[in-house]
Structure 1
Amino acid sequence: MTPRPILIDTDPGQDDAVAILLALASPELEVKAITAVAGNVPLALTSANARKVCELAGRPEIAVHAGCDHPLERPLVTAEHVHGKTGLDGADLRAPVMALQDKHGVDAIIDLAREVDGLTICALGPLTNVATALTRAPDVAGRIREIVLMGGAYFEVGNISPAAEFNIFVDPEAAKAVFDSGCKITVLPLDVTHKVLVTTDRIAAFRAMETRIGDAIADWTGFFERFDKEKYGSDGAPLHDPCVIGWLLWPELFSGRQINVEIETTSELTRGMTVADWWGVTDRAVNAMFIGNVDAGAFFARMTDRLARL
């Protein structure tokens, strides 16, 4: 099988880190580059964290590019209250040795979309880099195979406001540009990711790998879950971003439907809301595959097995 070429656009984030590791552990995927964006923490940290994860995986040859350090039109909102001051609190990783690439992340997206046939963009954070690339170089929209993103919500609604999920809330104008781009889009919203919980047993499974990577994931998820347990009273924290990679690897574990998704950008009450026409009550054109469910048990079993190979 020829590996599927992907670019990971990310704001690590413990769950982003697990997603990157899952991609690097999967021979079905070829990670062409990683572009960092400001989101969970500021850009200096997300670009360093992406390199830390590559080094943890033994893949220092992966090109990591720093992208946009603030949203298109708004001040940056970050999530240290969830991820800790570094974004990767919980596991003590050394400062990265591998160099940050000189090329800006937006330019890296544009160049790879033009150079690589059938590039898939895996968007794990705010969509600032992706939207800027599509706006600056409209021709790349027709060359991108698919944008698979973690963001939004329908039934679950918001985790940063009553109406909005964090990634979309941080840069709703960027999200709108992406959803309006005409690219093929698949959305992994909170409705799915809140089913993929890192419970005590699942953290123990990571620890049972008895590897440096397994220990780091167990440490990250053990730290990460404390916020959601307190907020939601759940059995563990949702492991959001690995669902993007899981969809590419094992789409049979997921279900959803093609619908219209619009992004609210003007209302202060519902800023960043993904207005998902799940029931087809409007005549707006379909523009996204919106995933509604996942077999979480099978997903975790396969993910744990794959990560143990690193």
Structure 2
Amino acid sequence: MKQVLIDCDPGIDDALAIVLAHGSPALEIVGITTVGGNVPLERTTGNALALREYLGFPKIPVVPGCAGPLLRAPIDAADVHGHSGLGDARLPPPALPPSPGHAVDHIVDTLRGAPGEITLVAIGPLTNVALAVRREPRVVEWARELVILGGSWTRGNKTPAAEFNMAADPEAAAIVFAAGWTVTMIGLDVTRSALATGAVVDRMRTMGPLGADLLVPCVESYGMVTADEGPAVHDACAVAYLIDPSLVRVEPAVVEIETAGRLTSGMSVVDFDLAGRTPNALVGTSLDAPRFWELVLATYAEVAAGLRRTG
């Protein structure tokens, strides 16, 4: 079983990713840290706490981190995720508070406590991870691996050049990619294939309270669902890769993050033609979407069954 520390900004697709990580027998969530991103930090943290209690893992620490980027004014995606961050999901408010401390310290301490054993998966802006690297550069050695959801080697979604998580804090992303580890980058070129179509949502409707309270209202408020199209569940792709790396084709590359461009700030500049240079990343280039959905929906069905038994 792979131990994972999830740094996130819930966010609809973060919620779908957390359900997947919780339900997979291949993964063990050892902690969740939050960052401001899709919505402000207070709401991303509250959403993580609500998901923790709804899904039934109340002893796993949830630790809030950075409210905004290193150098820039915050941006958010409330126009996509709704004011709450979870669209039309219907979750009870959390009864338990977050764990004390700060996410940056928690990342450092968790990786220090189990060197080489814990995978860090970052599915929000990289502010917490960058500050963890700055505070303790040995986290690069202590992490079993770093998998991020973000970037693109073609086009962005926040701007024509930049994906949202990179655009939200380009300076942090630049620090993370230059830190000396091999970053597995699951970006838009992969995630745009993970569409929650009508057939997917119909399967979710069969999943009792999990489907009715969380999955279906999240997906349907995230984008228009038709027979052949639907919103891309970006963050779940990074977690699915951790469960079964064969779902995503990755290729070695040198990745640098643009921080100065007037029109390209936050762009992930991906060079697959290494020309003798040492790669700093494995970049996702394609997704086996049918197998992805087989894994995701089967895992969701197991989570739904567990909620029925305990409900």
TM-score range, shorter chain: over 0.9
**Corresponding residue for residue 71 of structure 1:** 69
**Corresponding residue for residue 196 of structure 1:** 194
The alpha carbon displacement at 1:284 in A equals 4.1
Q: Which runs of no fewer than 5 residues in structure 2 stay unpaired?
A: 304-311
Q: Does 1:129 align with 2:128?
A: yes
Amino acid at match of 2:108: I
Q: Does 1:166 align with 2:164?
A: yes
Q: Does 1:289 align with 2:277?
A: no
The alpha carbon displacement at 1:279 in A equals 3.6
1:178-203 CA-partner distances (Å, limit 9, x unpaired): 00011221011100000000111111
Do the aligned residues in 2 keep the contact of 1:214 with 1:308 (CA within 8 Å)? no
Partners of 1:148 and 1:131 in 2: CA distance: 14
1:232-276 CA-partner distances (Å, limit 9, x unpaired): xx8111100011110011111211201100000011210000000
The alpha carbon displacement at 1:116 in A equals 1.6
Do the aligned residues in 2 keep the contact of 1:63 with 1:100 (CA within 8 Å)? yes
Partners of 2:30 and 2:114 in 1: CA distance: 9
Amino acid at match of 1:97: A
Partners of 1:299 and 1:273 in 2: CA distance: 27
Q: Does 1:305 align with 2:298?
A: yes
Q: Does 1:138 align with 2:160?
A: no
Q: How many residues align?
A: 300
TM-score using structure 2 length: 0.94
Do the aligned residues in 1 keep the contact of 2:54 with 2:92 (CA within 8 Å)? no
Alignment of 1:227-266 (within 5 A): 235-266=229-260
Please identify, of 217-226 and 158-167, the stretch whose mean Cα deviation from structure 2 is larger: 217-226
Pick from 210, 213, 219 the counterpart of residue 213 of structure 1.
210
Q: Does 1:103 align with 2:97?
A: no
**Corresponding residue for residue 276 of structure 1:** 270
**Corresponding residue for residue 308 of structure 2:** none
TM-score using structure 1 length: 0.94
SS at match of 1:47: helix
SS at match of 1:256: strand
Q: Does 1:116 align with 2:114?
A: yes
Do the aligned residues in 2 keep the contact of 1:193 with 1:238 (CA within 8 Å)? yes
Runs of 4+ in 1 over 2 A off after TM superposition: 282-285
**Corresponding residue for residue 51 of structure 1:** 49
Partners of 2:248 and 2:137 in 1: CA distance: 31
Amino acid at match of 1:143: W
1:199-254 CA-partner distances (Å, limit 9, x unpaired): 111111111122x222211110011013x99xxxx811110001111001111121
Partners of 2:129 and 2:288 in 1: CA distance: 29
Partners of 1:51 and 1:265 in 2: CA distance: 33
**Corresponding residue for residue 182 of structure 2:** 184
Partners of 2:288 and 2:4 in 1: CA distance: 24
1:23-54 CA-partner distances (Å, limit 9, x unpaired): 11112111110000000000000000001111
Do the aligned residues in 1 keep the contact of 2:104 with 2:131 (CA within 8 Å)? yes
Amino acid at match of 1:213: L
1:81-126 CA-partner distances (Å, limit 9, x unpaired): 1000110021121211122111111110000010023211110000
The alpha carbon displacement at 1:71 in A equals 0.4
Do the aligned residues in 1 keep the contact of 2:20 with 2:239 (CA within 8 Å)? yes
The alpha carbon displacement at 1:283 in A equals 4.9
Alignment of 1:5-44 (within 5 A): 5-44=3-42
SS at match of 2:50: helix
SS at match of 1:77: coil
Partners of 1:301 and 1:90 in 2: CA distance: 25
For the aligned residue pairs, the C-alpha RMSD in angstroms reads: 1.4
Q: Which runs of no fewer than 5 residues in structure 1 stay unpaired?
A: none
SS at match of 2:95: coil
Partners of 1:25 and 1:67 in 2: CA distance: 25
The alpha carbon displacement at 1:146 in A equals 0.8
Partners of 1:100 and 1:245 in 2: CA distance: 23
Percent same amino acid at aligned positions? 41
SS at match of 2:138: helix
Partners of 1:307 and 1:19 in 2: CA distance: 10
**Corresponding residue for residue 306 of structure 2:** none
